[in-house]
Structure 1
Amino acid sequence: MLVIDNRGAVFDSVVVFGDSSLFICTKSDKEIDETLSRLRDAGCDAEVGEILKDGVSVEFSGISKVKCNVTSEMISIDYKDSKKKKTNQTLSCQDEATVSEVMAALKQRLPAFEEKQEQYGVFRSAIKPAVFVSISVLLTGVLVIMANTLVNASGVDIDGRKALLKRVISGVLEFLGPVGVGVVGAVVTLGFVLWLAKRVKNPPLMRTLSQA
């Protein structure tokens, strides 16, 4: 059994590789110390599952693909759960050393899987964040126009399907006004721009495990 103390990640967690399953459980810093102590006495997957019952368990036999962005220290696992439903589990790692340890452990337990590694170029790295920047700018423009219309209108009749949702959206837009909506949109867009700059400066290194 391999137990990994994953403190320092976006979400602190404990990662356990058992005999037939991978266990991932988000815990607070204080809870992790207690959990690690209890795991020392665990002798089988059932006992690990009981200790980490508020987490997620992934059977190795149900895994179909593993995608890892080494640069952002994120691992995504596609698998079938106990009900044979296709699902996904994302694991944020504390550093590249933990990424390597988790990927090595997965590769060892998935002998029929083939590993591929790909370094993204600048153009490919920019595509996804650039799309989000464009959508954010467009959506901000549309919402500013809507907010301006609501502010200048004497009254707007809202009925039909999802009337409550429409009233909530209209209320928020009217409360913020065109300037407020523009400021919020600018902040969101700036976040996507920073993401774009980070991806271009440090393109993702992708590692993939999939059935040969």
Structure 2
Amino acid sequence: MTTVPSVTLLVIAKEPRPGRVKTRLTPPFTPGEAAGLAEAALADTLDVVARTPARRRVLVLDGTPGHWLPAGIEVVPQCAGGLDERLAAAFAGCDGPALLIGMDTPQVTPELLTVDFDDCDAYFGPAEDGGFWALGLAEPDPALLRGVPMSVPETGAVQRRRLSGLRVRELPPLRDVDTAYDAPLVAAAAPGGRFAARLARLTAAHR
């Protein structure tokens, strides 16, 4: 009999609405096109989460769920405050081991998200821009995130230092989709996904 991991998978995301998401993609893309790319990235991410063994799968959402939400994923609202507070609150809602990711890495796979805390206390996935794409905690402690400066080049280094003293497993670095430069590189890492298909259509339209 297959044992379901006792891990909660968390995805923190914004509703993909024009002007609210992926604003650094404009230009060259319009706000509507950027929101479409964000929706595709979110849909790819949630599809992977839905296919990954877990005890719970939770979308921590700023906004309203749409047609892109697959079955089997709970939705809880984000709290107010900075990103560090919102990440901390996401972990605070867990009663056991949890792994948190964002909506910016549609190239993620079920293999990367299948984690085992039997012989470690934390997982850390660095992002190529200096941030982090994944953080896992065997015993979720919101204090490990509060006060970490977010969306700056040293975000990942500061968060990694917060884990000192814990047994940490490193996940492979991944690239976030933040800018138009990032988009084709991420699409190439997951050529069969919705994000890659949406980007290909938009790129062709812009020629």
Q: Do both proteins adopt the same fold according to a TM-score greater than 0.5, normalized to the shorter chain?
A: no
- The structure whose Rg is larger is 1
Greater per-residue helix proportion? 1
